[in-house]
A and B are shown apart, each in its own frame.
Chain A
Amino acid sequence: EAQVTQNPRYLITVTGKKLTVTCSQNMNHEYMSWYRQDPGLGLRQIYYSMNVEVTDKGDVPEGYKVSRKEKRNFPLILESPSPNQTSLYFCASSQQGRDGYTFGSGTRLTVV
């Protein structure tokens, strides 16, 4: 089944403790993106990647890192999480963006 898999689905962590949210897609898509969703603010792009080893900042990249060492994986790294990073995170992938994005099921992160 074609899908984008995110892990974990839920995570509660403490301020400053490094964490990684994994994202993997099995559709051989070139484009991958990370979004955060907050009430009333819609989907805001954190980082995106147009191919292996090619990443760029989205609208809200501060406090986040990404890497794209393989085509299928696009992990999101929070080196020192803070409470304002409490949010619902989505990973998405697309074949060059031309046919829409397939989203993962989301990761609900709480930083206390």
Chain B
Amino acid sequence: GQQVMQIPQYQHVQEGEDFTTYCNSSTTLSNIQWYKQRPGGHPVFLIQLVKSGEVKKQKRLTFQFGEAKKNSSLHITATQTTDVGTYFCAGGGGSYIPTFGRGTSLIVHP
């Protein structure tokens, strides 16, 4: 079945540094969703990308969907301690039943 690989598994950064997590699929995706899970919390939906090459921004977060719709990235500029958590991508097929990656845990050191 559809697989979504996410790297890295962990990322330590100093506060103020940038952070990027990457998501790759073995098949073409109809959409990609991104979620954030704070420590001890539940995943919270951030955004969905649908179009090839799409780029969306939310303040310091930039989301990209690859031209071939097989990969995506989330970039955080100038990380803050409030960015700590695990970021998941979820790739959707035609039925909008997403397959989640294993997540990237971001640790921000003040």
Contact = CB atoms under 8 A, between A and B. Distances in A.
B56 to A, nearest CB: 13
B110 interface: no
A97 B97 contact: yes
Interface of A: 31, 33, 35, 40-45, 48, 50, 59, 90, 92, 94, 96-106
A103 B92 contact: no
Number of contact residues on B: which range applies?
A: 20 to 34
Interface of B: 1, 6, 9, 33, 35, 41-48, 88, 90, 92, 95-103
A90 B43 CA distance: 9
Contacts of B101: 42
Contacts of B48: 98-100
Contacts of B1: 59
Secondary structure class of chain B's binding surface, majority of residues:
strand
Interface centre among B33, B43, B44, B103 (most CB of A within 10 A): B43
Contacts, number: 61
A49 to B, nearest CB: 10
A48 to B, nearest CB: 6
Nearest to B2: A59
B96 A98 contact: yes
B102 A41 contact: yes
Contact of A42 (B33, B88, B96): B88
A32 to B, nearest CB: 11
A97 B95 contact: yes
B96 A96 contact: yes
Given A43-B88, A100-B48, A90 B96 contact: no
